[in-house]
Structure 1
Amino acid sequence: MIEAISMLAWLAGVSGAPVPAVDPLTQPITTSRSAEWLTPAEPEEIFGETYLVGFGGMSVALIDTGAGLVLVDGALPQAAPAILANVRKLGFDPKDIKFILSTEPHFDHAGGLAALARDTGATVVASERGAEGLRMGKHADDDPQLGYGGSWPAVAEVRAVKDGEVLKLGTTAITAVATPGHTMGSMSWRWPACEGRVCKAVVFASSLNPVSADGYRFTSKAGEPFVEGFAASYRKMDAMPCDILISAHPDNAGPGRYSDAPGACRTYADSSRKRLEKRLEEERASAQ
């Protein structure tokens, strides 16, 4: 409770306006890591009209397409006012946000989507399975983290896109890249960012962390589709153009808020591959 009150006070301070304590869409979800995830961070320009407007432990990206803005992910419900405050700090009007892209139907990345969509009028975009979870505001029945329980503000209207579908706005074409495993609806997003004649491929990668609630086994029949999903995601990450990597949780990609190291997406996939292999070995050993 103390953590929730202090978080609300901080959000009020950075947004320049009071955060309604009774706003059902921004009521805090607190965990042992929520304060770490929402460590305050100044908005930052990365390259070619691509910016970070999130936090020290949770990424939220902003793209200026020249014909409107695109936001990627929404963090926790209580983070929405601070995200919009960071958009304003960069000189943009949140009402110019046309789309909000979702990486996964989990509270830490999707909890703020309902408030952000309400306050900007933007259309939320997700994978088909992701859209189902966002509309429900809770884990899917087959989610490895279902046992954690809990819910988050549901998003009434979500535009569902398929793997490889391209969302065009202004000068920017954003490609949806299905990256299942962490959830079956996880979606990464890729777009070109240019400065003059120099263009770089930016990838906002969904979580590839093979974590679950207690008692879940990736080696079970129910876990097989997720292991296969991880494998498919690794192949995509290994192969796709990736000059700049933004990961849903920055610490999964390296020490900074993003990585522009050569092969960043391959390194990201390889790190997950090793964690999954270790997890599967431990499960097999415990079953003997």
Structure 2
Amino acid sequence: MLARPTLLSLMAIAAAPAMPQASDPLTRPIVTEHTAEWLAPRPPMRVFGSTYLVGFGGLNVALIDTGKGLILIDGALPQAAPAILANVRRLGFAPRDIKYILSTEPHFDHAGGIAALARDTGATVVAGPRGAEALRTGRLAADDPQRGYDSRFPAVPMVKVIRDGERLALGNTVITARATPGHTVGSMSWSWRACEGQRCKAIVFAASLNPVSTDDYRFSAPSHKAVVAAFARGQAAMRALPCDILITAHADQDGATERYLTKPGACRAYALSSQRKLAERINSEAR
């Protein structure tokens, strides 16, 4: 027979501290030596027309208002998802109006927040074929130069696959998928046109193109010829893009101190910088 709770026991229960809620597995922080720099707070800003930035000092996240819904590009780290949605609200938009989330590369610093963002907005996640494979597992691909870091992130079970050159249309905006492999074999950049009245500009949100890896990885190894060849394809694709405004996935990449670049030939310069860095890395491995 169960004893009835006494008045004193009820008072004790009421006075007891509330049990902490279980942490959200999709926003559990990933912390590295760069995290504070990557997630340095920045106010949301308009880039041009209906294109905005809702990310951070070291990681860009773009938002496009198409008139028929919103498109988000990249998701930063897992713990960044609430701040991204807060920035969307600060611009006067509703997160539930985000229809698509586009992924540049399946690394924790750019894709870590996508699972939480997709859950909280109901948006469809879009990536290239190889990027989609990694997003679904939450782990870097076996041929990724950074696989040695074994950097896992929340998996994204449902991903719409888009191929190089295919277009995604929503409202008044058409975004083209631009395969720019190298940094990862599945890296995808995104291009579209934005207008202010009669003045229009070509905007590129570029995946990383820098040759980063663990110290024991050798780009010069015969087994990694395919990776070096992928870099060449990605660099050539980036050089060829119409590019009035360049937004790089890392906000401070190649001198983009204002979070994006408007210099003539910015995409071409970005590709040449990648070529130079890769050549320097391969030369250093021969010493």
Amino acid corresponding to residue 149 of structure 1 in structure 2: D
Post-superposition CA distance 1:88-112 (Å, at most 9, x none): 0000000000000000010000000
Amino acid corresponding to residue 241 of structure 1 in structure 2: P
Asked whether the 8 Å contact 2:107–2:151 carries over to 1, the reply is no
Structure 2: gaps spanning 5 or more residues: 1-20
Secondary structure in 2 aligned to 1:174?
A: strand
Distance 2:106 2:210 in 1: 14
Secondary structure in 2 aligned to 1:71?
A: strand
Distance 2:120 2:200 in 1: 32
Asked whether the 8 Å contact 1:246–1:253 carries over to 2, the reply is no
Amino acid corresponding to residue 270 of structure 1 in structure 2: L
Secondary structure in 1 aligned to 2:127?
A: strand
Distance 1:202 1:230 in 2: 22
Q: 1:182 maps to which residue?
A: 183
Worse-superposed segment, 128-137 or 266-275: 266-275
1:21 is displaced (CA, Å) by 6.0
Give 1:1-288 correspondences, 5 Å limit. 22-254=23-255, 255-285=257-287
Structure 1: gaps spanning 5 or more residues: 1-19
Worse-superposed segment, 226-235 or 95-104: 226-235
Post-superposition CA distance 1:57-94 (Å, at most 9, x none): 00000000000000000000000000000000000000
Secondary structure in 2 aligned to 1:129?
A: helix
Secondary structure in 1 aligned to 2:227?
A: helix
Amino acid corresponding to residue 90 of structure 1 in structure 2: L
Distance 1:125 1:161 in 2: 7
Higher Cα Rg: structure 1 or 2?
2
> What is the TM-score of this pair, normalised by structure 2?
0.91
Amino acid corresponding to residue 142 of structure 1 in structure 2: D
> What is the TM-score of this pair, normalised by structure 1?
0.91
Distance 2:223 2:208 in 1: 20
Q: 1:17 maps to which residue?
A: none
Secondary structure in 2 aligned to 1:250?
A: coil
Asked whether the 8 Å contact 2:45–2:52 carries over to 1, the reply is yes
Q: Closer, same or farther in 2 for the Cα pair 1:21/1:31, shift >3 Å?
A: farther
Asked whether the 8 Å contact 1:182–1:208 carries over to 2, the reply is yes
Distance 1:21 1:240 in 2: 46
Asked whether the 8 Å contact 1:61–1:73 carries over to 2, the reply is yes
Q: Closer, same or farther in 2 for the Cα pair 1:149/1:126, shift >3 Å?
A: same
Distance 1:197 1:132 in 2: 40
Asked whether the 8 Å contact 1:142–1:222 carries over to 2, the reply is no
Aligned-residue RMSD, C-alpha: 1.2
Post-superposition CA distance 1:256-278 (Å, at most 9, x none): 20001101101111111111010
Regions of 4+ moved over 6 Å:
none
1:239 is displaced (CA, Å) by 1.4
Q: Percent identity?
A: 65
Distance 2:94 2:22 in 1: 24
Distance 1:77 1:258 in 2: 23
Secondary structure in 1 aligned to 2:202?
A: strand
Secondary structure in 2 aligned to 1:223?
A: helix
1:185 is displaced (CA, Å) by 0.5
Asked whether the 8 Å contact 1:190–1:203 carries over to 2, the reply is yes
1:225 is displaced (CA, Å) by 1.3
Distance 2:22 2:36 in 1: 18
Q: Closer, same or farther in 2 for the Cα pair 1:24/1:154, shift >3 Å?
A: same
